[in-house]
Amino acid sequence: MARILDGKWVRDEILKELKPRVADLTRRGRRPGLAVVLVGHDPASEIYVRNKEKASAEMGILSEKYTPAESVSTEELLVLIDSLNARDDVDGILVQTPLPRHVDSRRVLVAVKPDKDVDGFHPVNVGKLVANMPGPRACTPAGIIQLLKRYEIPITGQHAVVMGRSDIVGKPMALLLLHESATVTVCHSRTRDLPGECRRADILVCAIGRPAFVTRDFIKPGATVIDVGINRITDADQLKKIFGDTPSRSIIGDAHPVEAAEAAGAYTPVPGGVGPLTIAMLMSNTVQAAEDHLRCSA
């Protein structure tokens, strides 16, 4: 059986390292501040934001939540973002996605000042990622790099395959792996012989949003499988097909949980793998932003 890579342990280690930095900022009169904008009532987003609020409270980070109605316009959101940009006590601004379809998401996300973009999505910060310059990194990919390093899984010289090309995970993940001197292949829905490409991977990152899609045929024996997917399955027959007669859970990643555990050398479970890292890196980006703002104001 594969070695389980525990994202909760890595999260706790990251947060433990951040606490003295938060305490030092607070002593110097610069308690880190995070503003979260949550539009509407998407259940998954609400759960995620609650977890962020809980982590902020435990860390001593000042957290504010803004909840505009589902009917909010792009212009109204831009006014809110501008007001948060102008506040010295707000170090980070996070706009929870997805936004309603009538909202111009790109305009809203780009309106966040780059130095307060703790998600790492602003074009300025994406450019810094490409150039390998200091700046906030997309939280999930940055957390995955932390996971690999803290479990001492080699990256340099390894062949990494990233399944998915999203702006949030796939593209920044590929760039971060390149900066760690991995040889990187990015696969997507148009890739020919997808299983064959994935079988070449020493490190396989699954971020495609299809439950249990990555089976044994995709996995090189002994490879490290990083499962970014979070999919809820309610169909009993589908769960039985995956787990057999004793389904153990309804939250499934993109990798087949049974076959990945059998074929891989190490893998991240779902839940409990990559998910906790995202919030940890959000806290890290917020603390770094507060330190940068304090240094610039000195």
Please name each of the domains of the chain with its CATH number.
29-113 (3.40.50.10860), 139-276 (3.40.50.720)
Q: Which of 70, 65, 176 is nearest to 120 (CA)?
A: 176
Q: Which tokens in the block code for residue 81? A: 């973002």
* Active-site residue, selected from the candidate residues 117, 119, 202, 227: 119
Tens of pLDDT, residues 80-136: 999 999 999 999 999 998 899 999 999 999 999 999 999 999 999 999 999 999 999
d(CA 257, CA 249): 10
Tens of pLDDT, residues 133-145: 999 999 999 999 9
pLDDT category at 43 given cuts 50, 70, 90 is: confident
Residue 30: CB partners within 8 Å, gap ≥ 6?
290, 293, 294
User: For residue 245, what is the DSSP state?
Assistant: S
Q: Count CB-CB contacts under 10 A for residue 210.
A: 15
pTM more than 0.85: yes
Tens of pLDDT, residues 216-250: 999 999 999 999 998 888 888 888 888 887 777 88
- E strand intervals along the chain: 3-4, 33-37, 62-66, 92-95, 159-163, 183-187, 203-206, 224-227, 231-232, 251-252, 266-267
Tens of pLDDT, residues 52-66: 999 999 999 999 999
* Active-site residue, selected from the candidate residues 52, 116, 171, 220: 52
Q: How far is CA 236 from CA 209, 271, 294, in A?
A: 19, 19, 53
Tens of pLDDT, residues 63-76: 999 999 999 999 99
pLDDT at 48: 82
Which residue is it, tokens 């001593």? 60
- For the question of residue 96 being annotated catalytic, the response is yes
Q: How far is CA 56 from CA 29, 35, 194, in A?
A: 17, 11, 40
**Sheet strand arrangement including 92-95:** 62-66, 33-37, 92-95
- E strand intervals along 6-61: 33-37
Contact status, residue 218 vs residue 239, Cβ threshold 8 Å: no
Q: Count CB-CB contacts under 10 A for residue 240.
A: 12
Arithmetic mean of pLDDT over the chain:
95
* Active-site residue, selected from the candidate residues 96, 146, 158, 288: 96
